Structure formats: structure tokens, C-alpha cells
Structure 1
Amino acid sequence: MIVVFDARCLLCDGWVRFLLRHDKRRVLRFASIQGANGQALLERAGLQVDGLQTLLLVDGDRSWQHTAAILGVLHALGWPWRLAWAAWLIPAPLRDALYRWLARNRYRWFGRSDTCLMPPHDHAQRFLD
């Protein structure tokens, strides 16, 4: 599974660091939207980098966006993170509206880095770009 994320977003940076810490089975890999692999995955999913307001989760030919991507990632982490699947009980339009509101404001609330996230040395092989 590949998580495509904004490497300049400090909220996204924190999310990736959380995933690296909790992905004990090392099933997740990462591609930034600023890199060639991330852009190719976005294009394949029909998304553009400009104005992108979603996390993308790619597993083979399938991909998920918004809250479905987050829930898929948490499911991949295993117990106890799989409990987040209870959020599926909330209608997707409601979940995704909240997600998009947070995504639109992520730079203002959490900040933005002028440089892309540098992967920790012991996880560098998990990053595609």
C-alpha cells in the first residue's frame, strides 16, 4: 500500500511520522505529491497536484481518497487502530466534508515547510521519492 501525501504540509508530515511509528509490519510505503512517483499515482487516480485536498491511498489498481484513505491506512496498521473502522457508520458525505474543511485550512492551522520531508534514515527505503 502506498500513501501519497503533501511533503510540505506539517500536518501531513506529522501523519507520516505517526504511520512510521505505528506500522510495525511495514506494509505502508510513501510517495510525496512533489515527487515523480507521487504525481504519477495522482494522475492514475485522476487527481491533480494543484489545489489537492486529499490523501491518496493506493493498493495495486485500487485507490481511496479523503476519509476512506485514512480509514484504509488505519486498518492496515492493525489493532488497535482498526477500531477506527467504526467511523464508517458516519455517512461519507459528512465525514468527507469535515476532511475537506481540514485539508483546505491545513497550511494556515498547522504550517507549511519550504522543504520536503526528509525520511528518517531507518525508513528511507519505504519512500518512493
Structure 2
Amino acid sequence: MTGTCDPESHEWARHEHVIVFDGVCNWCHTWVNVLIDHDPHETFKFGTLQSEQGQQILHTLQLSTEDFSTFLLLEQARVYTKSTAALRIVRHLPGFWPLFYLGILIPRPVRDALYDYVARHRYRWMGKTDACRVPSPDQRRRFV
């Protein structure tokens, strides 16, 4: 899914790249840590789907505000979900990561089916926490 988020009505849309993730998902926390570690130019900002701003975006896009089966990538006011969001993220990372962007050649329904499988099992595989992630003091500037 691709949509838009009006920069005039949503503060996060003013940032060039914002990843909005499930704040209680340990799988998601792991990937946020990987992204922070492999994003030396601090290209990405982060926010949670459970936050007021995250909920506003979900509502605007008519996505569930309770079942967080995807994360969002806000990229210059456009919103990407599922495999498309993941692939658009890796193309901005250094090293071998951009090679994964070749996955964009796989038809989206196939990519999203794999994404949905992982999303359905992520809590079973990695668990979840009772509260949203709290960034460390040096990471705080990366969170919106």
C-alpha cells in the first residue's frame, strides 16, 4: 500500500524519512537497532504506531489502529507499507544492504505474502514487551 501524509497536517511528514513501527514488538526493536547501527548519516527518524501521531496516520490511511500488522515508512510525505517499505529502507543503507532492493522486482503480492507470514509470527518468534521502546539518551534525537 502506498498513500500520502499531508505535511501541513502531520508533523512527521515534514521529515524526509520516518519509520513508524510497533513499539511493543521485540522483532521490530531488533530491526530498529540494526537500522540505527547501519545508518551512520542518521537518514531515518523513528516513531511508534502506538503514539498519538502514529495512530493519526493509521486512521488517515484507514489502517487498523489496534492490529499492527505492518510498519510504515514516511518518505517525503508518501507512506509505504509492508515489503515495499522495507525495500525502500535498505536502499538507503551503506554496504551490501542496497542489494536487497533488487527484491522490488518480485511482484508485490508475493513479497507482501512473505511479509504477512513474518508479521503473523513475530510475537511468537521474538515476543513482545508491555510498553513501547524507550530510546537511550544518545538515540533520543533519532525518535520523533
TM-score (norm 1): 0.92
1:15 corresponds to? 31
Please identify, of 20-29 and 39-48, the stretch whose mean Cα deviation from structure 2 is larger: 39-48
8 Å Cα contact 1:42-1:56 kept in structure 2:
no
1:52 corresponds to? 68
Give the letter for the 2:61 counterpart: A
Q: How many residues align?
A: 128
Q: Distance in 2 between matches of 1:62 and 1:46?
A: 15
2:81 corresponds to? 65
1:43 to 39, 59, 62: 59
1:124 corresponds to? 140
2:126 to 110, 113, 117: 110
How far the C-alpha of 1:34 sits from its partner, in A, is 1.3
Q: Distance in 2 between matches of 1:2 and 1:45?
A: 16
1:101 corresponds to? 117
How far the C-alpha of 1:87 sits from its partner, in A, is 0.8
2:10 corresponds to? none
1:89 corresponds to? 105
Q: Distance in 2 between matches of 1:77 and 1:41?
A: 25
How far the C-alpha of 1:47 sits from its partner, in A, is 1.8
Give the letter for the 2:138 counterpart: D
**SS of aligned partner of 1:76:** coil
More helix by share: 1
Question: Where does the alignment leave 5 or more consecutive residues of structure 1 unmatched?
Answer: none
Asked if 1:76 corresponds to 2:88, the answer is: no
Asked if 1:3 corresponds to 2:16, the answer is: no
**SS of aligned partner of 1:77:** coil
Please identify, of 110-119 and 78-87, the stretch whose mean Cα deviation from structure 2 is larger: 78-87
Please identify, of 87-96 and 22-31, the stretch whose mean Cα deviation from structure 2 is larger: 87-96
Question: Where does the alignment leave 5 or more consecutive residues of structure 2 unmatched?
Answer: 1-16
8 Å Cα contact 2:49-2:71 kept in structure 1:
no
Q: Runs of 4+ in structure 1 displaced over 3 angstroms?
A: none
